[in-house]
Structure 1
Amino acid sequence: MKILVLFAHPAFERSRIHVRLLQAAATVQDVTIRDLYQVYPDFDVSPQAEQPIVEQHDVIIFQHPFYWYSGPALIKQWMDLVLEHGWAYGKNGTRLQGKRMMNVLSMAGNEQAYSAQGHHGHPVNAFLLPFEQTARLCYMQYLPPFTVHSSNALSDQQLNEHANRYIQLLEQLKTNAAALISNPPPNPSGLS
């Protein structure tokens, strides 16, 4: 399986976790990384450029910080323009059928904050419903998200542990993405 990481972070230079996660992903064979803010600094996303790239991959990962319970604006712009009717969904829009999609997220809040009793009142998955439904509309399978909580407070050792967990996830996706639906990779002990 070939994996496409669509990375979006408007302040990448300040993100220790995403720098480390992308370094880890770059070590995995058959993983393509596209930094959307680097490719489209003016938000002028080209469906003609993006669609052939997406078609060449089996798993589509949206990697980004969790901004206002969603992704940065460029991810929405990408989805609005690239996932066209007749290509990604609709009667003849089956180009993504059978592919898998997921999110790789960083967030400042801890796991408890993203629970029914926590500060945000809902688990992370509840906020990702638009991504999940987009996958369904495009005949894709949505996989559980890979989350990094408390991202602003991680030690270098914890950053490395999350990076290793990400490598494990990518390797699993390459061999058996379907198994990840019911058995996502464990969060290392002590990491939130």
Structure 2
Amino acid sequence: MSKILVIVIHPDMETSVVNKKWVAALQQYPDKYRVHDLYTAYPSGEIDVQKEQALLEEHETIIFQFPFYWFNCPPLLKKWLDEVLIHGWAYGSKSGYKMKDKKVALAISVGIDEQDYTADGKYKYTLNELTTPFEITFRYVLADYRPLFAFYGLEHRATTERIEKSVEMYLDFMEKFHDTVAELCKEYNSCS
């Protein structure tokens, strides 16, 4: 099995509570994971599109790891999607569809509690519903979009014990990533 490419998108990793821990854990296994931090690679925000496309072509499994805020992703990820997944490379021509059949998922840290992301909760929508544009995007380019990993409740319940547990859960998710979609949905309760 080839390495999993983990594209990390956090605008302030130094103050991160969870993402920094997740990255440190992944970096302990360089034979399994290749961590690519977009904000470190592109501090000016200018993305090297060809470099990013070549990196994607080298990997069959890609995880996008980021904090969820304002019900979306950090702005550099949106820019990355707009600039990297372009016509002729990601879709729209016989030579395109370079993401075809690549396994893709999101790993998201969420400040708010999980019960707030329900039909009866404060925000009326699940995290799966709020991240539907990512699913549609990756399905559009014929990638194999997989169930997301989410760790909730950082704003009110970010104890050291819970954060350490999130690291274990994240590594477990990564180990089981190649299981069937149905198994992942059941285990991580991450499919609507």
Give the alignment's TM-score, normalised by structure 1: 0.90
Paired residue for 2:118, among 91, 115, 119?
115
| Deviates most, 129-138 or 153-162 | 153-162
Q: Structure 1: which 4+ aligned runs deviate by more than 6 Å? A: none
**Structure with bigger RCO (C-alpha 8 Å, 6+ apart):** 1
Paired residue for 1:38, among 14, 37, 40?
40
> For 1:183, what is the secondary structure of its paired residue?
helix
TM-aligned CA deviation for residue 144 of structure 1: 1.0
Query: Is structure 2 residue 22 aligned with structure 1 residue 21?
Result: yes
Alignment of 1:35-184 (within 5 A): 35-92=37-94, 93-152=96-155, 153-173=157-177, 177-179=178-180, 181-184=181-184
> For 2:183, what is the secondary structure of its paired residue?
coil
Q: Is the 8 A contact 1:46 1:81 kept in 2?
A: no
TM-aligned CA deviation for residue 91 of structure 1: 2.5
Q: Is the 8 A contact 1:12 1:19 kept in 2?
A: yes
> For 2:125, what is the secondary structure of its paired residue?
coil
> For 1:97, what is the secondary structure of its paired residue?
coil
Q: Aligned equivalents of 2:179 and 2:145: distance in 1?
A: 10
> For 2:11, what is the secondary structure of its paired residue?
coil
Residues 96-117 of structure 1 show CA distances to partners (whole Å, capped at 9, x for unaligned) of 1110111111111101000001
TM-aligned CA deviation for residue 160 of structure 1: 1.4
TM-aligned CA deviation for residue 118 of structure 1: 0.6
Q: Is the 8 A contact 1:25 1:166 kept in 2?
A: no
Q: Aligned equivalents of 1:110 and 1:82: distance in 2?
A: 33
Q: Aligned equivalents of 1:121 and 1:106: distance in 2?
A: 19
> For 1:5, what is the secondary structure of its paired residue?
strand
What root-mean-square deviation, in Å, do the aligned CA atoms of Structure 1 and Structure 2 show?
A: 1.6
TM-aligned CA deviation for residue 178 of structure 1: 4.7
- Which ranges in structure 1 are unaligned for 5 or more consecutive residues? 188-192
Aligned residues: 184
Q: Is the 8 A contact 1:25 1:170 kept in 2?
A: no
* Amino acid across the alignment from 1:158: R
* Amino acid across the alignment from 1:64: F
- Which ranges in structure 2 are unaligned for 5 or more consecutive residues? none
* Amino acid across the alignment from 1:14: T
* Amino acid across the alignment from 2:173: L
Give percent identity, aligned residues only: 32
